[in-house]
Amino acid sequence: MVTVFGVKSEDELPGLASIRDVVELRLAPTEEDLARVIGDTDILMSWADARRLRWVHWAGAGVDAALFPELRDSDVLLTNARGIFDRPMAEYVLGLVLCFAKGFPRTIRSQSRRHWDFRLTEYINGGTALVVGVGNIGREIATLLSAAGMRLIGVGRSARAGDPLFGDIHGLGELDRLLARADYVINITPSTPDTRGLFSTDRFAGMKPSARFINVGRGDAVDQDALVDALRNKLIAGAALDVFAEEPLPETSPLWEMDNVIVSPHVSGDIADSHAALVAQFIENLHRFTRGEPLRNVVDKNKGY
């Protein structure tokens, strides 16, 4: 039996009904509904504790919320939606870079006041983007920024040479010396022990005063108090944040009111037709599962990605 957690109707996930002739399908809109059916579930499109569970599909790229200790230590396969969000997130990041370079937030604020606010803007062509996290999403971000004329620096879990996109990829241990070279520092790391608190007071102090920081990875990669201080003290010029340690971002956060900050509600990967793509990806893997073939997008539960 396949259980889909968090939806009330098959209409919410286009294409899902097509697997009814392959498996028994059950929807569990709430946690109470899930608790009633989880004991008979073989495949769960979400996560929970279950004795018979063999495979969990997480309909997102980051799986940190799914990796509770019992799942991590079990033989249950975990797959994610890797590949669905690459292009939307890359376009979102390109949009944020353009927002800063062309001063769009200031333009919109001036328009709301009917204020003719002429000023000069910036090129992104020739600028340097430091992409921290060089998986599929980071690479798609780099591809679009490169097409716009930006120079790229890539930082990954470990160093390696000869990458066709970045040239040399640098390890996390080299981050401190690279920060001062970047006009835009873009974080797209997953939540792991190595990345939690990665961007700290010292790291913000190591950036150019003209640099902008963009986070579309995980909120816990950033010391948020340190970021606020860096913005207030003009250690960096601005920040665009789509993810936060606490979501929704509390109304009391000073980030809401800072003119040099763009706050968005964890939407960088979400597009209008993403549900259909997510279902199609799951169905493809389901057919592989029923045929005994290796699944795609299997997550290394120890690494967290």
At 66-116, the pLDDT tens digits run 787 878 899 999 999 999 999 999 999 999 999 999 999 999 999 999 999
CA torsion through residues 300, 24, 48, 66, sign: positive
Side chain identity, residue 199: F
Kindly report the pTM of this predicted structure.
0.85
Q: Are 170 and 178 in contact (CB under 8 A)?
A: yes
Average pLDDT over residues 227-233: 98
Average pLDDT over residues 232-258: 97
Read off φ and ψ for residue 155, nearest 5 degrees.
Answer: -125, 125
Q: Rounded to whole angstroms, what are the CA distances from 117 to 105, 214, 222, 258, 262?
A: 12, 26, 33, 19, 20
User: Where is 163: in which H helix or E strand?
Assistant: strand 160-163
Task: Please state whether beta strands 238-241 and 160-163 pair in parallel, antiparallel, or not at all (unpaired).
Answer: unpaired
SS3 content of the chain, % helix, strand, coil (to 5): 35, 20, 45
Q: What is the pLDDT of residue 42?
A: 83
Question: Could you tell me which CATH class the domain 2-84+272-290 is placed in?
Answer: alpha beta
Nearest-Å Rg of the Cα atoms of the chain is 21
pLDDT above 80: residue 236: yes
> What is the CB neighbour count within 10 angstroms for residue 302?
9
pLDDT above 50: residue 251: yes
Residue 275 binned pLDDT confidence (cut-offs 50, 70, 90): confident
Sketch the domain layout of the chain as residue ranges: 2-84+272-290, 86-263
Q: Are 27 and 4 in contact (CB under 8 A)?
A: yes
Q: Do domains 2-84+272-290 and 86-263 have the same CATH topology?
A: yes
Point out the residues that are catalytic. 218, 247, 266
The lowest-confidence range among 144-148, 226-230, 265-269, 276-280 is: 276-280
Q: What is the CATH number of domain 86-263?
A: 3.40.50.720
CA 139 to chain centre: 13
pLDDT in tens, 11-64: 877 888 888 888 888 888 887 887 788 778 888 776 455 667 899 999 888 888
Q: What is the pLDDT of residue 47?
A: 42
pLDDT above 60: residue 282: yes
